[in-house]
Amino acid sequence: MNLAIRDIRYHRGRFILTSIGLGLLLGVVMSMGGIYRGLIADALAILHANKADLWVVQQGTNGPFAESSRIPEDIKYRIRAVPGVAEASPLSFQTVQIERSGKPFRFFLIGYELGGFGGPPEIVAGRAIRQKHYEMVVAKAMRMQIGETIHLGLHDYTVVGITGKIVSSSGDPAAYVSLADAQDIQFKKDNDAIRNDRERITVNLAAMPSLSPSQGRYLQQNIAAITESTHTVNTIVARLAPGANLQEVQARISRWNHFKPISDAEQSAILAKGMIEKARMQLGLFRVILLVISAVIISLIIYTSTLDKIRVIATLKLIGAQNRVIVGMILQQSLLMGVIAYAIGYGLIVLTYDKFPRRIVLEAGDLQMLFVIVMAICMISSFVGIRKALKVEPAEALGG
């Protein structure tokens, strides 16, 4: 006869309520694990979407995600000429926050070269960008409709396509425009600023008597062209030809002044370890604290339940029950509570994880590990009750 099951059956209300409470706690533990995995998945989403072998960024930086990186767009031609490089494409990244329907609207804007790579990984509705200007593809999470317009920088952009769930390392949904548009949005000055700059240059050049008027005009045009140029990008991504040696390509680009080649693996490490390390530690600490709280709760419940059964245990001992009968009853109750609480927590997370504002990624390995930990906690927690039970004397069954 299974005494643990019989006791649970008799006290099912109390047992179910306790298990639900514990299950909610375990659900939070699971969600925190899922949030951590989601952070990694989000951080690496753009990396995985690009499928680049190499990220060339500004020297001395870990850009373009971890730090600001600005390099001239035309370096793409030089990179394409490196032996082993199959293709190279410039990319621009910026976080944009505007107001939409009276609420802050934040997204991660990616500019890519039409015909190059680094654009939307898939189009789930509408079409890809075809024109060089004023078209936009947005992530589904932005909840925009095809044909809807949005004002960025100096111009309006029309949504022509919807891409899947792609987000920045901060979890902001991504939107795509052509590289030229992204550069305009990021770097182009407004008309007043341009006029002011030109006048300042004109005045400065006029103050140089050694320049003839035609030399002054020539210089003014060239200086303005440089200061008004938007041909800057945050990174150039490159894919290698089959059989090319990544280290050799990296070594060659490293020798150039002002540029730093980062491999995809290094970029993953920067994103996954560098940028979300603190979040990982924070979440890890919370998980440990919650598991300790769960252990304390299970211990207290089992201990209290054992105290409630002192007379039952004494009676069992008096009628000759072996210790394993009593130990089994307490241990099985503890393990059953763990299993049911785990199932409740799991059910809760499965039903709600897609409603979290940030991505929750539930990995089978993490869940299995948590199950093992919960079972271990239940076993350890039941020792307090078992110790108490084994100390009960049969004589305690006597008396009124």
The binder of other proteins chosen from 67, 74, 122, 393 (CB under 8 A):
393
Nearer to other proteins, 186 or 382 (CB): 382
Can you tell me the distance from the alpha carbon of 261 to that of 91, in angstroms, rounded to the nearest whole number? 14
Residue 140 has a CB neighbour count (10 Å cut-off) of 14
- Regarding 395 and contact with other proteins (CB under 8 A), the answer is yes
The binder of other proteins chosen from 303, 317, 374, 386 (CB under 8 A):
317
- What is the contact mask toward other proteins in residues 274 to 313, using x (rule: CB under 8 A)? -------------------------------------xx-
Q: How many residues bind other proteins (CB under 8 A)?
A: 25
Q: Which residue in 198, 202, 227, 200 sits closest to 213, CA to CA?
A: 202
User: Helix or strand or coil: residue 95?
Assistant: strand
Candidates 70-78, 179-187, 283-291, 316-324: pick the segment binding other proteins (CB under 8 A): 316-324
Can you tell me the distance from the alpha carbon of 381 to that of 347, in angstroms, rounded to the nearest whole number? 24
Nearer to other proteins, 10 or 77 (CB): 10
Tokens (6 digits) for 183: 């550069």
- Regarding 398 and contact with other proteins (CB under 8 A), the answer is yes
User: Under a CB-based contact definition with an 8 Å cutoff, are residues 87 and 66 in contact?
Assistant: no
- Regarding 397 and contact with other proteins (CB under 8 A), the answer is yes
Nearer to other proteins, 49 or 329 (CB): 329
The binder of other proteins chosen from 203, 226, 319, 364 (CB under 8 A):
319
- Give the sign of the dihedral formed by CA 28, CA 31, CA 37, CA 38: negative
Quote the DSSP letter at residue 355.
G
- What is the contact mask toward other proteins in residues 119 to 138, using x (rule: CB under 8 A)? --------------------
Tokens (6 digits) for 46: 């753009």
- Regarding 400 and contact with other proteins (CB under 8 A), the answer is yes
The binder of other proteins chosen from 208, 255, 321, 362 (CB under 8 A):
321
- Regarding 16 and contact with other proteins (CB under 8 A), the answer is no
Can you tell me the distance from the alpha carbon of 233 to that of 182, in angstroms, rounded to the nearest whole number? 9
Can you tell me the distance from the alpha carbon of 75 to that of 236, in angstroms, rounded to the nearest whole number? 8
Q: Give buried/exposed letters for 95-132 (b at 16+ CB in 10 A, else e).
A: ebeeebeeeebbbbbbbbbeebbbbbbebeebeebeee
CB of 380 vs other proteins, minimal distance in Å:
25
- Regarding 200 and contact with other proteins (CB under 8 A), the answer is no
The binder of other proteins chosen from 10, 77, 218, 356 (CB under 8 A):
10
Which stretches of the chain bind other proteins, using CB under 8 A?
A: 1, 3, 6-7, 9-11, 311-312, 315-322, 325, 393-395, 397-400
